[in-house]
Amino acid sequence: MSPATGTRYYTIGELASDFDVTTRTIRFYEEAGLLSPARQGQQRIYQESDRVKLKLILRGKRLGFSLAESRELIEQYDPISGNRSQLNALLRKIEERRETLRQQMLDIQLMQTELDAVAKRCHDALATLPDTQQEKRKLTGK
């Protein structure tokens, strides 16, 4: 294979601006054991695998996962190097997480229903509002 295997490296600053987080955040994730970038001398250098992990972390955040939970997910992601019982434990955890996701899916649908209801009442209220001259002017573009 040629070296064109897409093996690019990133500085912490690039990563930060790419994912719209601060460098402090990225270092904090490392402290918390979620990332472990290579080094050249003092400096951290990040690879694609680190980007994948960061993406997982941030996606988890948007779903309300704690960093500890995301770390589990990441640890599971990398090395399929366990014995039978470890692998089975992992499968059980995966099922748990699936269950959480199912619940969240449900919650989202219920939330959407709520929002629809509020929006409807909102529109109704707007419709019954006596529109003032000022409002009329705004609507017709002055």
Partner DNA sequence: GGCCATGTTGACGTTAACGTAAAGGTTACC
Partner DNA sequence: GGTAACCTTTACGTTAACGTCAACATGGCC
- Say whether residue 100 binds DNA (CB under 7 A): no
Nearer to DNA, 67 or 90 (CB): 67
Closest alpha carbon to 77 in 100, 94, 99, 96: 94
Question: Which residue of 19, 28, 51, 93 would you call a contact of DNA, by CB under 7 A?
Answer: 28
Residues 6+ apart with CB under 8 A from 73: 56, 60, 65, 97
Question: At its nearest, how many Å lie between DNA and the CB of residue 121?
Answer: 26
# residues near DNA by CB under 7 A = 20
115 binds its own copies (CB under 8 A): yes
Q: Which strand (E) or helix (H) includes residue 127?
A: helix 84-128
Chain positions 30 to 69 lying near DNA, rule: CB under 7 A, are 32, 41-44, 61, 66-68
- Of 118, 73, 74, whose CA–CA distance to 96 is shortest? 73
Amino acid (one-letter) located at 116: D
| Subset of residues 36 to 65 that bind its own copies, contact rule: CB under 8 A | 56, 59-64
Q: In this structure, what token pair is assigned to residue 55?
A: 């993406």
Which chain residues interact with DNA by CB under 7 A?
11-14, 16, 22-25, 27-28, 32, 41-44, 61, 66-68
